[in-house]
């Protein structure tokens, strides 16, 4: 298994988009909007692949003030619990550090909070609804290794 970084012009983008849809959108009967797909063009995408198959993916959006948002974290349902998400998050954090980010944050579904807590993320703020599901903003201060 190897990790890759890609953009929306890569053939891996359509594979990652399909995975994101299957894991994050389809259960909620939601489609990606044109605006969401347009936003992806400005973001950084990572995936874990083997034999041209994507097992996990995530997206980073860089903001001012040395902050980066991790979003659209998805792992194939049959592969969850095998450490793929943890591997990708570590890769994303290291990439963010290399780009001089000092804080990484995400809007974590309430069900994903334990996963992020194990990786050192802290809840900041109150529970809120996003895509009709309870979420928490979580963040982690980054420091070069």
Give DSSP secondary structure letters for 82-130: SSHHHHHHHHHHHHHHHTT--EEEEEEEGGGHHHHHHTT-EE-S--EEE
Calculate mean pLDDT across residues 117-138. Answer: 95
Confidence (pLDDT) at 31: 93
Instruction: Give the chain's mean pLDDT.
Output: 94
Confidence (pLDDT) at 144: 73
Q: Phi, psi (5° rounding) for residue 80?
A: -65, 145
pLDDT over 80 at 138, yes or no: yes
Cα–Cα distance, 120 to 87 (Å, whole number): 14
Confidence (pLDDT) at 114: 96
Say which CATH number the domain at 59 has.
3.40.630.30
Confidence (pLDDT) at 65: 86
pTM: 0.92
Q: What is the DSSP-derived secondary structure letter of residue 66?
A: T
Cα–Cα distance, 37 to 124 (Å, whole number): 27
Based on the structure, what is the number of domains in the chain?
A: 1
Calculate mean pLDDT across residues 111-139. Answer: 95
pLDDT over 70 at 22, yes or no: yes
Query: Within 10 A of 98 (CB to CB), how many other CB atoms are there?
Result: 9
Confidence (pLDDT) at 8: 96
Rounded percentage of the chain residues whose pLDDT exceeds 90: 92
Task: Write the pLDDT tens digit of every residue in 76-103.
Answer: 999 999 999 999 999 999 999 999 999 9
Calculate mean pLDDT across residues 109-134. Answer: 95
Confidence (pLDDT) at 145: 64
pLDDT over 90 at 131, yes or no: no
What is the residue range of 54's domain?
2-141
């Amino acid at each position: 298994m190897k990790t890759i970084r890609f953009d929306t012009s890569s053939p891996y983008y359509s594979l990652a988009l399909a995975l994101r849809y299957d894991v994050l959108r389809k259960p909620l009967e939601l489609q990606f909007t044109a605006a969401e797909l347009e936003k992806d063009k400005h973001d950084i995408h990572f995936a874990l692949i083997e034999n041209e198959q994507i097992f996990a993916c995530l997206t980073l959006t860089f903001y001012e003030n040395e902050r980066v948002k991790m979003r659209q974290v998805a792992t194939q349902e049959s592969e969850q619990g095998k450490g793929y998400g943890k591997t990708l998050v570590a890769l994303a954090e290291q990439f963010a550090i290399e780009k001089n980010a000092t804080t990484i944050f995400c809007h974590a579904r309430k069900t994903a909070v334990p996963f992020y807590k194990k990786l050192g993320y802290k809840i900041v703020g109150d529970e809120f609804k996003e895509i009709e599901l309870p979420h928490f903003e979580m963040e982690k201060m980054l420091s070069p290794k």
